[in-house]
Amino acid sequence: MNTVGPYHNRQETYSYFSLPFCVGPKKKISHYHETLGEAFQGVELKFSGLDIDFQADISKTTYCEMDLDEERLKTFIYAVKNHYLYQMYIDDLPIWGIVGEFNENYYIWTHKKFDLGYHDNQIVDVNQTSEARQKLELGTKVKYTYEVNWRKSSIKFKDRFDKYLDPNFFQHKIHWFSIFSSFMMIFCLVGLVSMILMRTLHKDYARYSKDKEMNDMERDLGDEYGWKQVHGDVFRPPSHPMLFSALVGAGCQMLTVTSLVILLTIVGEVYTE
């Protein structure tokens, strides 16, 4: 299990078990240690407590029961009212599901149906259907169930992420107003900084032109300050030239590789599973 959050604000995410979901028959829910990139993205994977064996169908099975007290009821009603989605992973393939729905009353989905496709000895396709809605009422006993159905698939393992790359899979809405506002803000900031720099440099150029007409005795060098004092450092050798050159070279390589990968990914030539 990964995160849960409102459908209309995908950036607002919380841990899956921040909602009072059942944790399954296991007494201890282990935590999956993310990579550095997953940690930056806010991925926080925890074991769901559901035991699924490869190519082993599971009929409808109850894995947890809980009573809805006042605190749990308020939490679930808030999640359903705000259209909360949850995300989970099976063999690194993501799945999304809705917590509940509102139709005159508040309901929660209590049954998870997994349809898993395999090719040879690898999982290549996953689908999860939420079923068996139950009305949210104080004191109600909620019974959580799940089932697993395996089927042979013709999808190859290297192509199992292709459906997630299909633009029709997600309905992305382009926020043109936000993009326009960002460009206008950048344009104003660049213009403001450029105006300040031009005024400052104009005065410096005028003074330096005047200093060229003076000899060394008449020129006053005591008023140099700030960034103007480092104009001679570009001609000064570093104290550790080998380390400096290694860092500059490695930085240039990383910048070049990153730029090329981003460019090739944009044009669709490179995809890493």
46: nearest Cα among 56, 33, 36? 33
Report the alpha-carbon distance of residue 101 to residue 96 in Å, rounded: 15
Between the CA of residue 124 and those of 51, 121, 158, 209, what are the distances in Å? 19, 9, 8, 71
Report the alpha-carbon distance of residue 223 to residue 193 in Å, rounded: 24
Question: What global pTM score does this model have?
Answer: 0.64
For the chain, the structural domain boundaries read: 3-165, 174-219, 240-273
Q: How high is the pLDDT of residue 238?
A: 82
| Residues sharing a CB contact under 8 Å with residue 108, sequence separation 6 or more, in sequence order | 76, 80, 99, 100, 133, 134, 136, 142
- Mean pLDDT for 153-171 is 79
**Encoded tokens for 268:** 């669709």
| Residues sharing a CB contact under 8 Å with residue 81, sequence separation 6 or more, in sequence order | 102, 106
User: pLDDT tens-digit profile of 113-139?
Assistant: 999 999 989 999 999 999 999 999 998
pLDDT tier, 156 (very low <50, low <70, confident <90, very high otherwise): very high
69: nearest Cα among 20, 132, 28, 3? 20
User: pLDDT tens-digit profile of 8-63?
Assistant: 887 788 889 899 988 777 666 666 666 777 777 777 788 888 888 999 999 999 98
| Residues sharing a CB contact under 8 Å with residue 202, sequence separation 6 or more, in sequence order | none
Beta strands 105-119 and 14-15 are unpaired
User: pLDDT tens-digit profile of 83-117?
Assistant: 999 999 998 899 999 999 998 899 999 999 999 99
Range with lowest mean pLDDT among 32-46, 123-137, 172-186, 249-263: 32-46
Q: How high is the pLDDT of residue 43?
A: 76
Per-residue pLDDT at 216 exceeds 60: no
